[in-house]
Structure 1
Amino acid sequence: MDLKTSTDISASGLRAQSLRMRVIAENLANADSVARTPGGDPYRRRVVVFKPDVKGAEGATSVKVSTITTDKSAFQRIYQPGHPAADAQGYIQRPNVNGLVESADMRAAQRSYEANLNAIEAARTMTMRTIDLIK
């Protein structure tokens, strides 16, 4: 595999994990958002879905973002009858965002991002050493 192919594969991972971190940050930012209208739905957690992307005759596989979907899990219901977003029974719905899950996902995305950076740096270093040997 040549330098360009290996760098392209790692760059695709960087782009995918960068988007994943942005979506996770959005989820965390909206963890306390409730509906604007009584009985309405609050913010729904979003999840990034990846898919493999086979390139060229070499069969090199990179990663691509397939879609950004919404998590269909149930909202939390909390009894707060005086809240402006409360329904007729006095319950508000809170987003289906779990801070611990989002933190773990963020850590995994950061580590994957760092691994891709290290792969690019290793490919660059090997190329520079090869050039030095040829001199």
Structure 2
Amino acid sequence: MTDFSDTLALSASGMKAQSTRLRHVSENIANADTPGFHRKTVNFEEVLSQGARTGQVQTGPVQLDRSAPEQIFDPSHPLADESGHYDGSNVDLVVEIADAREAQRSYEANLKMFDQARQMSSSLLQLLRR
């Protein structure tokens, strides 16, 4: 049964990591028009248990995208400098939508793996009861 519980933990860690990623993607999309907003990204890190690989993943610290923000010309904006420009955000909606789709597909794959392991465990318990 430990293999089944390991599989469940493995897929649960993947779902948790992808949901965290999706949360940051949605924050990026929500703040795409916020002046000075920098895109947030997360990296995945492997979980180690007593120095051994477990196959599980977790999200690392949130990182801000260092690419230059869009320069917007609007002399009437309160944040505009003497040349009439201000910093927009560096969020690219096409990239964010692609990241959201990738996170969704990865989450679904982990969910299917979780459900398959749960069904196999249930079937095994039914066989052992006979």
TM-score (normalizing by structure 1): 0.88
Residues 25 and 103 of structure 1, relative CA distance in 2, 3 Å threshold: same
C-alpha distance in 1 between matches for 2:51 and 2:71: 53
C-alpha distance in 2 between matches for 1:92 and 1:128: 59
C-alpha distance in 2 between matches for 1:56 and 1:127: 27
Number of aligned residue pairs: give it. Answer: 128
Q: Which amino acid aligns with 2:32?
A: A
C-alpha distance in 2 between matches for 1:88 and 1:51: 44
CA offsets per residue over residues 23-63 of structure 1, 9 Å max, x none?
A: 111101100011xxxxxxx1111101111113369743100
Look up the SS of the partner of 1:88 in the other structure.
coil
Q: 115, 119, 128: which one pairs with 1:125?
A: 119
Larger helix share, 1 or 2: 2
Residue 9 of structure 2 corresponds to 8
Contact 1:52–1:63 (CA under 8 A) maintained in structure 2: yes
Where in structure 2 are the equivalents of 1:50-129 lying within 5 Å? 50-55=44-49, 59-129=53-123
Q: Which amino acid aligns with 2:118?
A: R
User: Which structure 1 residue ranges, 5 or more long, are not aligned?
Assistant: 35-41
C-alpha distance in 2 between matches for 1:70 and 1:57: 29
C-alpha distance in 1 between matches for 2:88 and 2:4: 48
Contact 2:46–2:53 (CA under 8 A) maintained in structure 1: no
RMSD over aligned Cα atoms: 1.6
Percent identity between matched residues is 39
C-alpha distance in 2 between matches for 1:71 and 1:14: 24
TM-score (normalizing by structure 2): 0.91
C-alpha distance in 2 between matches for 1:71 and 1:85: 21
Residue 33 of structure 1 corresponds to 34
Residue 19 of structure 1 corresponds to 20
Q: Which amino acid aligns with 1:90?
A: G
Moved over 6 A (4+): none
Look up the SS of the partner of 2:61 in the other structure.
strand
Matched, 1:48 2:36: no
